[in-house]
A and B are shown apart, each in its own frame.
Chain A
Amino acid sequence: MTGRATFKLLALVPVLLGVSVITFSLMYMAPGNPADILMRAYEEAPAQESVQAFRSHFGLDDGPCTQYVKWLSRVLRGNLGVSFKTGESVQAKIIDRLPATLELAGGAFLFMVLVSISFGITGALCRGRLPDKGIHILTVLATSVPAFLLGLVLLYAFGVLLNVLPVTGRIGPGSFLLPVVTLGLAASCVYGRTLRAIIIDVIEQNYVKQAYAMGLSTRRIITGYIMKNAMLPLVTLYGMSMGHLLGGAVIVESIFSWPGVGKMALEAIMSRDYPVVLGYVLFMTVVFTMSSLAVDMAYRFLDPRVQEGIGYDPGGDGV
C-alpha cells in the first residue's frame, strides 16, 4: 500500500471525529426533540410522563457534551447504538439496507460509465452531426428535468402504459432498471459531454494523428491512444459520484420504494433519530474517503507516470 493511501486512511480518524462533532451539534441545535416527535401516535401529543420516561431511557436528560462522550465511547467499542424509533441496532439497520443501496448505486454507476463513454466517443467522433446534436439535446433534457419527475414519467411509460417493467420495490430482476436509469441518466449525459470535450482535445494531439497516419484501426486508436489519456480527468468525477450515489438517492428510493440507506437517513433526520443519523454520517464519511482512495489507485493503474512527487503533463506525447 502506498504512503499516500496509508496517509489517507490514517487521516480518516480525525475526519470521522470532526464530522461526528459537527453532525451531533447540528442535530442538537435543530428544533424539536426526539422524545416529542417519536412518541406521537395518530398525530396526538404524548403524555408528559411518557415523554419523560422516553428521555430517561435514552439518556436524553444528559447535557449534549455528556451525550456525545457516551456515544463516542460506545462507537470506540464498535457499537453505533440503537435507533430511538425502533430499538434496532444502527449497524444492523445500515447493513440491512446496504445491499439495496449497493445494487442501486452500483447499477447506476455502471450505467453512468457505459453511457457517458458511449456518448463521449460518439459525440466526439460525430462532432456537429446528428448523433452529437441528439446527445446534446438529451443532455439538456436530462439535466433540466428533476429526478422525481423523470422517475414518475418512466414509471408511467414503462410500468403502466407499456406494462413491461414493475413500478415498485426491489423484487424481481427488472425492478432495478428504472431506478438505475433515473439515478444515472443526468450524470451520464453531463460526463458524456465532458468526455466529448476531452476527446476532441486529445484527437488533435500529434500522437493520435500519427496513429491514424500509421493506418491503425479507429477502434485501436480509441482504446489504445485516445481513451487512456481522456479517461484520467473523468476518473475523479466517477469516484466522487460513487460517493453521492451510495449516499442517498433519497428521491429515487422514495419514488421506486427502494429500501436503501438514503430513505433511512431521511426518516431518521425527520424524526431526530440521533444514533441513526450519526451512524449514517460516519458511514458516508468512510465511503467518500474510500472513493477518493479508489480514484487515486485508479490513476496509478491507468497512467503509471502518476506517482507520488512526479509531475504529469496532459499535453505531452501520450502513452
Chain B
Amino acid sequence: MTCREQRFAAGYAIRPRLITLSILLCFLLCPFCASGGSTLTIGVGRDLYEGPESETYIHGSTNVWEALTILDGNLEPAGWLAESWRMQDGGRTWVFRLHRGVRFHNGSLLTAAHVVANMERRMKHRRFDPRGDLREVISVKAKGELNVVFRLKRPLPFFPALMAYYGSPIFHPGVFDAKGRITRPVGTGPFRLGKVKPGETIELFAFDGYRGKKPAFQRVMIRDIPDAQTRVFALIRGEIDAIIDVGGILPSQINELKAGRDIELKRAQLAMTHYLMMNCRRPPFDNVGARLWLAGRIDRKRLVDKLMEGTGIVAGEFYSPLARKWAPHDRALRSAPEAKKPAPLPKIPIVILLHSNFQQRLPYDLIAQVIAQTLREEGFEPRIEIKETGAFQEALKKGEFHLSIQPRNLLTGDPDFYYSSNISSSSFRNTGFTDPEADRLIDLARHETGQQKRRRIYDRLASIMAANMPMIPLYHEVALYAHRKDVEGLTMDAVFRPDLAAARPSGGSVR
C-alpha cells in the first residue's frame, strides 16, 4: 500500500468516529431549555412537597388549595372560599357563608359539609393543626349547603383572620385516610397537582373549572434548587422563568440580577419582622434598665441602611406596619425612655444565639457582629454562637443565651398573634418576660369584641412593651423576587404566596 493509500485508509477509518463523536457532543452539549409551550417554570430554595404526614401535603405557594379567608394588603381578612362572615352570640359563634359554584379539582361542588370535614380532621388529629388555630373551637357544623357555623369556647374577635390561609386549608374529604392523612391533594385552587418528584420538581396544571380568573399558563413547573447562586444562574440562563419564594434571592445578588437585561427584579414587603430577643431570666437583661439601654444603643436605621441593601424597613413598630388598622397604635416604641448603662459583668460572655438556617439568606451574623461590637465597647464580652435547628431550640429552651436574633411572622395580621405568641408568660416562645398586667391585657384583648376597646388595650400593651422592651424589633422584611421579562403579572403577597394565576406571557412573546 502506498503512503497516499495508507493516509487515505487512516482518514477513512477516523472519519466515521469523528462524525459519531461530534453528534454525541452536540447531543450532550445541547443547552437545556426548561420552559417551552405554555409553561411557567419557577425555582425555589426548598421542597414545596410536604407529604401525607403534613397538614396540607403541598405548600400553599403551589396555588393548589385555598382557605376560607386570606389576608389582603392591609393584613385584613378578605373572602376567599367564604364570601362573607358574621359574628353572633357576642363573638362565640362565627358563621361563614361560602361562595356558590366553587368546584374541587375532581369536579364536585364545594359545600359546607366539606369544610366541616376538613375542620374535624384537624380537630381530631391535632398534629395537622400545628399552630393550634382550632383549639378554642367547640364544634363546627354545616347549616344548609353553604353556611359553616363555628362555636367557640370564648369570643374571638379575630377569628376570620385566624382562618386565613393556613388557618383553614380546604381539600376534598375523599382524600383523607383513616388517620387523617391526605393521600392526594384535591383542592379548589387555580392549579391542580400533576406529577411530584420529591426534592426535584412539582408539576401543576391549570384547572379549567376554576371560578376565578383562569390562569394564562396551562402548566407550572416548580423546581427545587437549594443553592442560591445556582438559582440565579438558572434564571439568567433561562432554565427557569422566575424565583419567587421567601429567601429565594439574597440581597448580595441584587446587582447581579440588575445587570441581567432580560430580568425584572421586584420587592414585596412581608408581614415578617426581625427581632433581637432578650433573655429576661438571665443577667444582665433580666434588668429592664439594661434592656432599655441596649435598645437605645442600637442604631437600627444604620443597620438597615448599611446591611440590608433595600431588603428591610426600619422597625418603628413592634410588628408589621402592613397591619394598618393596628400599626398607628403601636407608636410607643418611638418614645421609649433612655436608660443608664448597666454595670458590666466582668469576664462573663454575653451569648448572642443565631440559627444556622438563616445565615445564607439573612444578614444576622453581620447584625450580631455590630451588636457585639456595641457590647464590647461597653466592657462586655460578647460571643456569637450559630447553631443548627435542634441545638438552637435546645439552647432557647434551656435559656442558654442572652440575646438572639429571630424572625416572627404576623400570620393572622392581628396583634393578638404577636402578643399571645411572644409576650404572654404562658407562651412557648416567651424569653422570660413576665408581667401580670400584660398577661391580663392580652387575655382581655383576645376576647374583647369591641373594636375601640380593643385598640385601647393594645395601646396600653404597646406602652408596657416600650417601657420593658423584652424584644427589640430591628426591621421589617422586604422580600426579593425576580422573573424574566417575557413573563408579567407575577406577584407575591405579604405571607409570600405567589399569585400564579395572575402570571402571563408578556405582550408579543411566544411561549
Q: How far is the CA of A50 from the CA of B135 in the complex (A)?
A: 10
Q: Are B29 and A164 in contact (CB under 8 A)?
A: yes
Q: Which residues, 199 to 249 on B, are CB-close (under 8 Å) to A?
A: 199-201, 223-227, 229-230, 233-234, 236-237, 239-240
Q: What is the chain B residue whose CB lies nearest that of A251?
A: B227
Are the C-beta atoms of A257 and B223 separated by less than 8 Å? yes
Residue pair A259, B199 in contact (C-beta under 8 Å) = yes
A39–B390 Cα distance when bound, in Å, is: 13
Query: Which stretch, A29-37, A121-129, A188-196, A290-298, touches the partner chain B?
Result: A29-37
Contact residues, B412-439 vs A (CB, 8 A): 421, 428-429
| Residue A86 CB within 8 A of the other chain | yes
Q: Is the Cβ of B53 less than 8 Å from the Cβ of A83?
A: yes
B131 interfacial by beta-carbon distance below 8 Å: yes
Chain A residues within an 8 Å CB radius of B30 = 172, 174
CA distance A173 to B224 in the complex (A): 19
In the complex, which of the residues B53, B236, B429 contacts A86, with contact meaning CB atoms closer than 8 Å? B53
Q: How far is the CA of A173 from the CA of B51 in the complex (A)?
A: 29
CB of B125 within 8 Å of the partner chain:
yes
Please tell me if the beta carbons of B132 and A86 are within 8 angstroms of each other in the complex.
no
Nearest A-chain residue to B407, judged by Cβ: A43
B74 within 8 A of A: no
**Cβ contact within 8 Å between B409 and A43:** yes
Q: Does chain B have a CB within 8 A of A113?
A: no
The CA of A172 and the CA of B237, in the complex, are separated in Å by 15
* Closest Cβ–Cβ distance, residue B215 to chain A (whole Å): 23
Contact call B225/A257, Cβ cutoff below 8 A: yes
Across the interface, B32 reaches (CB within 8 A) one of A47, A155, A166, namely A166
Contact: B51 with A86, CB < 8 Å? yes
Q: Residue A49 contacts which of B53, B132, B388 (CB distance < 8 angstroms)? A: B132
Q: List residues 458-506 of chain B with CB under 8 A from any CB of chain A.
A: 495
A168 to B227, CA, bound (A): 10
A254 within 8 A of B: yes
Report Cα–Cα, A163/B201, bound state, in Å: 23
A37 vs B393: C-alpha distance in the bound complex, in angstroms? 8
Once the chains bind, are B198 and A86 in contact (CB under 8 Å)?
Answer: yes
The answer for the CA separation of A43 and B393 in the assembled complex, in Å, is 11
CB of B66 closer than 8 Å to a CB of A: no
Given A37-B389, A259-B199, A270-B388, CB of A87 within 8 Å of CB of B226: no
How many A-B contacts at CB < 8 Å in the complex? 181
- Chain A stretch 54-77: residues in CB contact (< 8 A) with chain B: 54, 57
Report chain A residues within 8 Å CB of B127.
Answer: 39, 50, 53-54, 57
Which of B53, B166, B197, B393 is A31 in contact with, Cβ under 8 Å?
Answer: B393
Contact of A141 with B by CB under 8 A: no
Classify chain A's interface size: 35 or more
Which residues of chain B come closer than 8 Å to A166, judged between CB atoms?
A: 31-32, 237, 239
Q: Does A45 contact B (CB under 8 A)?
A: yes
B28 touches A177 (CB 8 A): yes
Given contacts A31-B394, A163-B31, contact A87 B233 (CB under 8 A): no
Per the CB 8 Å criterion, the residue count for chain B at the interface is 61
- The answer to whether the Cβ of A136 comes within 8 Å of any Cβ in the partner chain is no
Q: Does B162 contact A (CB under 8 A)?
A: no
Which residue on B lies nearest to A39, using beta carbons? B130
Interface residues of A in 160-188 (CB under 8 A from B): 160, 163-175, 177
Contact indicator B51/A83 (Cβ below 8 Å): yes
Residues in A132-169 with C-beta less than 8 Å from chain B: 152, 155-156, 159-160, 163-169
The residue of chain A having its C-beta at the shortest distance from the C-beta of B406 within the complex is A43
Query: Once the chains bind, are A97 and B199 in contact (CB under 8 Å)?
Result: yes
Contact A93-B34, Cβ < 8 Å, known A43-B407, A88-B51:
no
Cα distance, A93 to B395, chains bound together (Å): 32
Closest A residue by C-beta to B417? A44
* Chain B residues in 8 Å Cβ range of A152: 227, 229-230
B321 CB to nearest chain A CB (Å):
19
B257 to chain A, nearest CB (A): 13
A251 to B457: give the CA distance in the assembly, Å: 51
In chain B, positions 310-335 with a C-beta closer than 8 Å to chain A are none
User: Which chain A residue shows the least CB distance to B197?
Assistant: A259
Instruction: Answer whether residue A244 sits at the interface, using C-beta atoms and an 8 A cutoff.
Output: no
Is A48 an interface residue when CB atoms closer than 8 A count as contact? yes
Are A86 and B393 touching (Cβ within 8 A)? no
A167-B53 contact given A87-B181, A173-B27, A175-B32, CB 8 Å threshold: no
Interface string of A11-39 (1 = CB under 8 A from B): 00000000000000000001111001101
Contact B198 A96 (CB under 8 A): yes
B50 at the interface (CB under 8 A from A): yes
Give the residues in chain B near A41, CB-CB below 8 Å.
55, 130-131, 166
Looking at the assembled complex, report how far the CB atom of B497 sits from the nearest CB atom of chain A, in whole angstroms: 11
Q: Which residues of A contact B125 (CB under 8 A)?
A: 53, 57
Could you tell me the distance in whole angstroms from the C-beta of B238 to the nearest C-beta in chain A? Answer: 9
Return B459 CB to nearest CB of chain A, in Å: 25
B304 within 8 A of A: no
When chains A and B are docked, how far (Å) is the Cα of A65 from the Cα of B267?
Answer: 51
A168, A172, A254: which has the most chain B beta carbons within 10 Å?
A: A168
CB contacts (< 8 Å) of B234 on chain A: these are 167-168
Residues from chain A with Cβ under 8 Å of B391 in the complex: 30-32
Residue of B nearest to A41 (CB): B130
On chain A, the residues within 8 Å of B411 by CB distance are 42, 44
What chain B residues lie within 8 Å of A174 (beta carbons)? 27-32
- B201: which A residues are within 8 A, CB to CB? 169
Query: A33–B53 Cα gap in the complex (Å)?
Result: 17
A-B contact pairs, 15 of them (CB 8 A): A32-B391, A41-B55, A43-B409, A45-B428, A97-B199, A159-B237, A165-B29, A167-B239, A168-B234, A169-B200, A169-B225, A174-B28, A257-B224, A257-B226, A267-B199
| New A-B contacts (14) at CB < 8 Å, excluding given A88-B51, A165-B31 | A37-B393, A42-B166, A43-B408, A44-B409, A47-B130, A85-B51, A86-B54, A160-B233, A164-B29, A167-B233, A170-B200, A173-B28, A257-B227, A270-B390
9 shortest A-B CB distances, which residue pairs? A32-B390, A86-B51, A47-B132, A87-B53, A166-B32, A53-B126, A31-B394, A87-B52, A259-B200
